[in-house]
Amino acid sequence: MQMHVHRWGPDDGAPVLCLHGVMGHGGRFRRLAETFLPERHIVAADLRGHGRSGWEPPWDIATYVADLVETMDAQGLDATDVMGFSFGGRLALELAAAYPDRVRRIALLDPAVQLPPDLALRLADQARADHAFADVAEAVTARMATLAHTPREMVDEDVAEALDRGDDGMLRYRVARSAVVAAYGEMARVPRVPATHPTVLVRAAAGVVDDAQQELLQAALGAHLTVVDVPGNHPVMWDAFNETGTAVASHFAHS
């Protein structure tokens, strides 16, 4: 399936493919792209089951990777740098492992490399709930409660793109909850990790990456892995905007 994409930067710039996490959308990379990668051609996909892409199953990693390759082909992306946040980070690894010639450098933003099964179950159960909001302000307040250092205007911008009003008049995130539940199950599986792609791991102080996940990456990538610790919670492109942007820009500068 070709996915809906968000694009920034010059068409002739070196490409970067951006992959969001569950409950997200490609538009979340706009500020990071325009501030820290202004000369790059940025393509940020809405993953299957999210945003303005199709929502149909299956929602397994193999299908997501096939979607990525089909979308890359449609966008004229041959070998590209890839930046992935959370589940998008896991997909970046899987894409590079399955199609090593299509990926140059990888930036992992607090990636869900492999979630412990009990955590994956808890998050999947939470995703089954009907998270509905009477208005935008209520949604913004709920989101801000999960963040440490994020300016409110970033969340205001995200909510404007992420929410959709249902027939009952309530606002909900534009995602298929079934796809989110399935994705958490996939994140509990043992990942495929490439061995030779230069990779930067941006690890949040209060994120999802633990020592076991970092060690898994280190064992596979060895000297190809660089780790950058940043403050804040899981959404590092918001909570550690400057630190994350600087790390990614420095890493991709070698492409």
- From the list 12, 130, 211, 254, the catalytic residue is 211
Report the alpha-carbon distance of residue 18 to residue 36 in Å, rounded.
14
Q: Two tokens at 24?
A: 């997200």
Tokens 């199953």 map to which residue? Answer: 57
Cα–Cα separations (whole angstroms), residue 224 to 14, 15, 107, 239, 247: 21, 21, 12, 26, 15
- From the list 6, 41, 50, 86, the catalytic residue is 86
25 is catalytic: no
234 is catalytic: yes
Number of Cβ atoms within 10 Å of the Cβ of 228: 18
250 is catalytic: no
- From the list 158, 234, 239, 251, the catalytic residue is 234
Q: Beta-strand (E) ranges in 94-198?
A: 103-109, 163-165, 171-173
List, by residue number, the catalytic residues. 86, 211, 234
